[in-house]
A and B are shown apart, each in its own frame.
Chain A
Amino acid sequence: MPERTSFGKAGAVPAKAYMVPNPPTPNRAIDFEPDLCNGCNRCVEICRSDVLMPNPEKGKPPIVLYPDECWYCGTCVLECPRPGAITLLHPLNQSVSVIWKRVTTGEVYRMGMLNPPPPNPRPPAG
């Protein structure tokens, strides 16, 4: 289905507005990368809270219907066969207090900061 508005596209002011309730809080909880997600719905099948619903358009990423019911368990990410297709987004009132400081330089970082440092690629033990 063609997108008739430019909602969600950075840089463009939408020409049209809708009557919609405020977004539930936290707003997103789970984010899909549309180029990686093939809509297999394995995450939908295992989500404990039914946060995710299958997209009416086959092959498209699931719809985050109930982000306000997410437990942030991350099992959707563990279940996903395509690494990077799903990202867990902590609510801002939690991520804003995830802060760390480099011992040697004294530099301070936080989850969600502008211009973050490069990822630490080391996997968990086992």
Chain B
Amino acid sequence: MSTWHEYVQRDAPLPEWPYPIRYGEEDALVTDVLVLGGGIAGCHAAINARRRGAKVVVLEKEATKWSGNGGAGVDHWLSACTNPCSQVTPEELTDRVMADSGGYDCGPLRYVNAREGWDALLDCERMGVRIRDLDGEFEGAAFRDPETQLLFAYDYQSRCDLRVYGHNMKPSLRSELRRLRVKVVDRVMVTALLTADGAQGKRVVGALGIHTRTGAVYIVRAKATVLATGLPGRVWSFSTEYRPTFRDPNLTGDGVAVAWEAGAEFARLEESFPDSGAFAYLPYGVGNAHNTWHGCPIVDANGKEVPWVDRDGTELRTAAERFRPSPGQRFMVGHGQRVPASYENHVKELAPDLPQRIARGEFVLPLYADLSRLPATERRAIFGLMVGNEGKTRIPVYDALTRAGFDPDLDMLQVPVMDPAAYGHANFWSGMAVPHWRQWGCGGLVVDWDLRTSLEGLYAAGGAVYGAGAHSSAAASGRYAGRKAAAYAATAPEPRVDRARVEGEKARAYAPLRQSRRSIGWKELNAGICRVMQDYCGEHKSERTLREGLRLLQGLRESEASTTFAANPHELTRALECRSIITVGEAVMHASLARRASSALLSFTRLDYPTVDPPDWQKLLVAKLVDGKVAVGELPLDYHLRPPYAPTYEENYRAHCDA
């Protein structure tokens, strides 16, 4: 007997909510540094603020021990440019990434990642995460350094991306938080930032949240706050019935919503990518040759191998060539970096014309991922090390597949049978994207070289900052932001919390408990919001339809969302998440209205402004709320290298890092 249905169908009474109900009760905390989000960025921020002597509180919506998008493990540690084997400098990597992103990435975030990513990994090693092949299982492999026992990924020559045994990353960080006596409060969803005098645009002095099990309200007064919440999801695509399982479904943009409402400045909000939503397959659990499975041979139904090609389209003759740069190429940039492909950063790939060749009958479906064709160390690295340690693959893929009898030494894993067009990228498990089912792009908070946002007292790390990044970026930027927040808190004046704001927020947060059941619940509301986003903020956008979309979101906010009911603290949290999603959607639509040009770099199409990336629109549009109204400004793409900052990454880092 496991399910609720089984439990109730035995004449047992309907089970009561298992946790004490504490609606309206207040838990007040006072601290130097408040970290919002206990994922990878948040844990590193908290640890480093504490090491600088600050008193630290973490509010986490899930449970810190395994929480967050990176919470179930990690197999790649990207941008470890300062590891002893790296042949790439932080400056080189940052310059490459910034150039290939068209300048739209966040320079300070990328540089901090390249500069401190390795240091953050060493921190993790000290906490008990294994980062080396200590027992020599991979001895002799091209991706192993005999002296340091480090294992490399993607590019065995440049050696700045590492393979790690990171399945226990979060429990290790959690233990360190405990050891340092950081106060971690799990199961609290942040619903508002508190600002000086309760005013938009003023200093951030803490946050307010609701406990997801008891419904109690948490009011934290803090001298400095680090926003370390994850990338918003459930904005364009939502179904609990049949849904993708790649991204943590609890990440709903609560951090974006509360920072937006507090008046913080955002960039790159207009960007979104097509998503396959419910059409996706088990992530990394079906045949593919992407990221964790990079380099795996793909064969057709008759055993014919699909060729790998270099950046000139020339077929590679050996498997070893998949893992080293082309002649004349400085280094390759791995998939997880989320940098658009370029000739300079090109990673070896399956023949990009595979869809046409399947359509012509040159390759016969189904395809298979045949690890048995790789040398034993490569095979074991992909399936035993990477799949065995990556977030969400140790149990869901390694354990589930081996328990079912799969043996990578003997078996080929089938690639899903799809429309030929879906084979254009080796990330086969993601299925075929639907243009108007979008996923969050790289939008986030604008930061300076202290990783401080536009609001005094508010710092940001990881996915909360605009621009792309991966696990090591979250760790490195959390480390940096934690130091800076602690330094600010050391001299900052004692904050004061505006009581009227707290009362207003409490009334707003508990509203779903007072609603008649003749309204709708959170699931139906979430799906309705998504429909508006799909239709009015999908692939093709225009002034008129975006304005109509904003009107519809406002209508939902005033009607269905204001009467959504909740039966218990769990449903209450979900209903509040829907409000976050509406706010996120509004911010995206406002930013989309402001960019009156299309952009390939931002995956952004305006029907009424079809010109793609015209030079005068190659800039960051920054948006924020001022007195409740949206104000849009602009920043040069390289604002972080212009006055008042120094002209190089290195100089700015040295001046600000507090290392």
Contact = CB atoms under 8 A, between A and B. Distances in A.
Interface string B385-413: 10111011011101111111111001111
Contact of B250 (A3, A48, A63, A72): A48
7 contacts: A48-B250, A65-B4, A73-B248, A77-B399, A100-B406, A101-B368, A111-B400
Interface residues of B, number: 73
Given A47-B63, A73-B72, A74-B72, A100 B412 contact: yes
Contacts of B372: 103
Interface stretch (B9-17, B91-99, B557-565): B9-17
A75 B401 CA distance: 16
Given A31-B2, A91-B242, A120 B406 contact: yes
Contacts of A120: 402-403, 405-407
A104 B249 CA distance: 40
Given A94-B285, A117-B404, 4 more contacts: A23-B3, A73-B395, A120-B402, A124-B389
A88 B2 contact: no
A52 B475 CA distance: 29
A50 B66 contact: no
B200 interface: no
Contacts of B183: none
B1 A118 contact: no
B4 A126 contact: no
A79 to B, nearest CB: 7
Contact of B570 (A18, A28, A50): A50
Contacts of A88: 395-396, 399-400
B256 to A, nearest CB: 19
A54 B17 CA distance: 10
- Majority secondary structure of chain A interface residues (helix, strand, loop or mixed): loop
A81 B407 CA distance: 26
Contacts of A28: 2-3
Interface of B: 1-12, 15-16, 18, 62-63, 65-67, 71-72, 130, 137, 165, 167, 187, 212-213, 240-242, 245, 248-250, 281-282, 285-286, 366, 368, 370, 372, 380-381, 384-385, 387-389, 391-392, 394-396, 398-407, 410-414, 416, 570
A112 B241 CA distance: 20
B245 A20 contact: no
B388 A116 contact: no
Contacts of B414: 97, 99-101
Interface string A1-26: 10111011000000000101001110
Interface of A: 1, 3-5, 7-8, 18, 20, 23-25, 27-28, 30-32, 34, 45-50, 53-56, 60-69, 71-75, 77-79, 88, 90-91, 93-95, 97-104, 109, 111-112, 116-126
Contacts of A60: 1
Contacts of A94: 245, 281-282, 285
A101 B411 contact: yes
A102 B408 CA distance: 9
Nearest to B66: A75
B249 A49 contact: yes
A1 B10 CA distance: 9
Contact of B18 (A3, A53, A71): A53
- Majority secondary structure of chain B interface residues (helix, strand, loop or mixed): loop
The 4 closest A-B pairs by CB, nearest first: A74-B395, A124-B388, A117-B405, A48-B62
A71 B35 CA distance: 24
Given A23-B3, A49-B249, A126-B388, A5 B11 contact: yes
A27 B395 contact: no
A52 B282 CA distance: 22
A92 to B, nearest CB: 10
B1 A8 contact: yes
A63 B14 CA distance: 12
Contacts of A45: 63
Contacts of B395: 73-75, 77-78, 88
Contacts of B282: 90, 94-95, 97-98
A100 B411 contact: yes
A71 B18 CA distance: 22
Query: A5, A56, A118, A121: which has the most chain B beta carbons within 10 Å?
Result: A56
Contacts of A69: 240, 249
Contacts of A102: 410-411
A68 B570 CA distance: 13
Nearest to A104: B410
Given A1-B10, A74-B399, A98-B401, A46 B63 contact: yes
A109 B405 contact: yes
A126 B245 contact: no
Nearest to A6: B10
B385 A125 contact: yes
Contact of A46 (B65, B248, B281, B401): B65
B167 to A, nearest CB: 7
Contacts of A91: 242
